[in-house]
Structure 1
Amino acid sequence: MSVSDFLSDGVELFATVCVRDHATACPWWERLLGRHSTFDATPTESVWELAPHRWLVVEQRPDRAGGAAVTVFVGDLDERVGAISERGIEPVERETYGDGVRKVIYRDPDGNEIGFGGPPLSAAG
């Protein structure tokens, strides 16, 4: 991939999650996301394309590990949570807001938070 590949539409979003040890962290992220990274930028930095122009980066930066909080809003929340459970990862928390919007929270072994949000049950499906 070249720089121009990323800039063709003008905006790309990269959300970075810092971990203590890349080799140890990546298998958890692969199970969570259901696949190997889209590409490895460096030997200690893996990148998943979650949707066009939306990227999640897992990077070895021990001095900053454990402080990330990322939320991805999806239309298939229940199916996604079920698939993640089948891969052996369970949420640590579930929230429902006043308008019915839902959020399911996971934490990686370093303590980073990744949430998946979804529409109210009446709007889902």
Structure 2
Amino acid sequence: MSDFLADGVELFAGVCVRDYAQARPWYEALLGGPPSFLAHETEAVWELAPHRWLVVEQRPERAGFAAQTVFVDDLDARVAGIAARGIEPAEEETYGGGVRKVIYRDADGNEVGFGGNPEADLAADD
């Protein structure tokens, strides 16, 4: 592993939105709760896993161009939880080996996808 990918690296993946006040409730529903912390009055940060953060920031000039994918252990449970909070996917994709990606889009068109590999989940259960 290169030094760049060694321990001590924090990943902050950014999503720029036009209207933070409108976007924040949608991201709270998508991610299942309030942000882990507020960087300032128009920037919220969710810790998705240790050292892995999703940042939503009001930057209208850059809004709508993000494409983030988060790989999760139980994609179906994640999608069901998001649906229970009132958000439906914009689209779904299936790749080789049963890998799936469920894509959500905010009001600006930013993409947040959740991916999973059910074959790997089944192998882990054996």
SS across alignment from 1:122: helix
Residue type of the alignment partner of 1:36? P
Counterpart of 1:95? 93
| TM-score for both structures, normalised by structure 1 | 0.90
SS across alignment from 2:33: coil
State the Cα distance separating 1:123 from its structure 2 match. 2.7
* 2-structure distance, mates of 1:86, 1:67: 27
Q: Among the aligned pairs, what percent are the same residue?
A: 72
Residue type of the alignment partner of 1:49? E
SS across alignment from 2:98: coil
Counterpart of 2:49? 51
Counterpart of 2:39? 41
Alignment match of 1:123 (pick from 116, 120, 123): 120
* 2-structure distance, mates of 1:22, 1:58: 8
Counterpart of 1:109? 107
Root-mean-square deviation (CA, aligned residues, Å) is 1.0
Offset from partner CA, 1:69-114 (integer Å, 9 cap, x none): 0000000110000000000000011111022111000000110000
Counterpart of 1:6? none
Alignment match of 1:20 (pick from 18, 21, 32): 18
Question: Which structure 1 residue ranges, 4+ long, deviate > 2 Å from structure 2?
Answer: 121-125
| TM-score for both structures, normalised by structure 2 | 0.89
Listed as ranges, the gaps of 5+ residues in structure 2 are 1-6
Q: Which one has a larger percent helix, Structure 1 or Structure 2?
A: 2
Counterpart of 1:32? 30
Alignment match of 2:65 (pick from 60, 64, 67): 67
Listed as ranges, the gaps of 5+ residues in structure 1 are 1-8
Aligned residues: 116
